[in-house]
A and B are shown apart, each in its own frame.
Chain A
Amino acid sequence: NAGVTQTPKFQVLKTGQSMTLQCAQDMNHNSMYWYRQDPGMGLRLIYYSASEGTTDKGEVPNGYNVSRLNKREFSLRLESAAPSQTSVYFCASSGDRWDTQYFGPGTRLTVL
């Protein structure tokens, strides 16, 4: 049981480049989330998917898009990266929206 996996672990982009962060869970969870963590701060929600087939904006959605590919996978896309998107990105999943969220190992993204 791998839990929540994220790829890549590290990424460096130039301003204006695009990329997709991948997340997968093997716990048969319904709900999945993307958070970002900036230095000295807690996590902030970017987007979430309460169940397969639905996605909604969180607190800081600007500059991002998401796709809930199937029950297991939830990807986060940066269409045109900006230095302000330099952060650590965490994916999380929970049985349903009211259950405990379990986090992946994170992706450290630097935008130059």
Chain B
Amino acid sequence: AQKITQTQPGMFVQEKEAVTLDCTYDTSDPSYGLFWYKQPSSGEMIFLIYQGSYDQQNATEGRYSLNFQKARKSANLVISASQLGDSAMYFCAMREGYFYNQGGKLIFGQGTELSVKP
């Protein structure tokens, strides 16, 4: 079974508008972490934001926020005030905790390609 699911292969958003990229996950481990990475056309992987399973509040980093709904097992990325430079592939990833994952490996979703229109 897929552990990380990103159901939106591609999305469009108008510049200066907000956009939500969906991510659902599956784990039996009570201790896990959720990450979002951005991959522009140049190819590098850029870390955006992190949410721990025990964190009480949703994570925020500048224009990025993570809408964490633990009961629904979702960790959606919200980008406010989109910019042209936000056009990229976005990956959701999960790291399970000690009992399932000795090495701290990340499990990635298939990504969502975001295009920002001027």
Question: CA separation between A65 and B85, bound complex, in Å?
Answer: 37
Q: Return the chain B residue nearest A102 by Cβ.
A: B47
Task: Report chain B residues within 8 Å CB of A59.
Answer: 105
Is B35 on the interface with A (CB-CB < 8 A)?
yes
What 1/0 flags go to B45-64 for Cβ under 8 Å of A? Answer: 11100100000000000000
Q: Is there an interface contact between A100 and B43, defined as CB atoms closer than 8 Å? A: no
Q: Give chain B interface residues in 80-118, CB to chain A under 8 Å.
A: 91, 93, 95, 102-106, 108-111
Interface centre among B4, B33, B106 (most CB of A within 10 A): B106
Nearest 7 interchain pairs by C-beta: A42-B108, A97-B104, A103-B45, A45-B105, A48-B103, A43-B108, A105-B44
| Given A100-B35, A100-B47, A44:B103 Cβ within 8 A | no
Q: Give chain A interface residues in 10-46, CB to chain B under 8 Å.
A: 31, 33, 35, 40-45
Is A110 on the interface with B (CB-CB < 8 A)?
no
Shortest CB distance B85–A (Å): 18
Is A101 on the interface with B (CB-CB < 8 A)?
yes
Known: A99-B104, A100-B35; 6 extra A-B contacts, CB below 8 A, are A43-B93, A96-B104, A101-B47, A101-B106, A103-B45, A106-B45
Q: Return the chain B residue nearest A50 by Cβ.
A: B103
Question: CA separation between A33 and B45, bound complex, in Å?
Answer: 14
Question: CA separation between A102 and B111, bound complex, in Å?
Answer: 18
Partner of B103, one of A58, A99, A100, A104: A58
Is A88 on the interface with B (CB-CB < 8 A)?
yes
Q: Is there an interface contact between B111 and A48, defined as CB atoms closer than 8 Å? A: no
Q: Return the chain B residue nearest A49 by Cβ.
A: B103
Q: Is there an interface contact between A58 and B109, defined as CB atoms closer than 8 Å? A: no
Q: Is there an interface contact between A88 and B43, defined as CB atoms closer than 8 Å? A: yes
Question: CA separation between A98 and B105, bound complex, in Å?
Answer: 9
Task: Report chain B residues within 8 Å CB of A88.
Answer: 43
Q: Is there an interface contact between B93 and A42, defined as CB atoms closer than 8 Å? A: yes
Q: Is there an interface contact between B110 and A41, defined as CB atoms closer than 8 Å? A: yes
Q: Is there an interface contact between A58 and B4, defined as CB atoms closer than 8 Å? A: no
Partner of B102, one of A33, A50, A102, A104: A50
Is A79 on the interface with B (CB-CB < 8 A)?
no
